[in-house]
Amino acid sequence: MVTAMPAHELVGYVGIYGMNSCQKGKRGERAWRDELVAHGYTAWRGRQFSGSPDSPDVVCPDLVKYHFEVKLVEHLNLAQAMAQAVHDAGEKVPVVAHKRNRGDWLITMRASDWFSMLAQAQAAHADAPEWHGPP
Q: Return the domain boundaries, the chain.
A: 17-122
User: What secondary structure letter does DSSP report for 62?
Assistant: G
Q: Cα separation of 22 and 2, whole Å?
A: 25
Predicted local distance difference test score (pLDDT) of residue 56: 83
Q: What is the mean pLDDT of residues 37-54?
A: 77
Per DSSP, the residues of 74-104 read SS--HHHHHHHHHHHHTTSEEEEEEE-TT--
Coil/strand/helix, residue 29: helix
The pLDDT, as a whole number, for residue 25 is 79
Q: What is the mean pLDDT of residues 114-132?
A: 82
Report whether pLDDT(2) > 60.
no
Whether CATH 3.30.450.20 fits 17-122: no
Q: How far apart are CA 41 and CA 96, in angstroms?
A: 17
- Mean pLDDT, residues 50-71: 83
Structure confidence at residue 81 (pLDDT): 95
pLDDT value at residue 26:
86
Centre a 10 Å sphere on the Cβ of residue 59 and count the other Cβ atoms it contains.
19
- What's the whole-model pTM score? 0.74
Q: What is the pLDDT of residue 22?
A: 75
Mean pLDDT of 19-34: 82
pLDDT at position 68 is 94
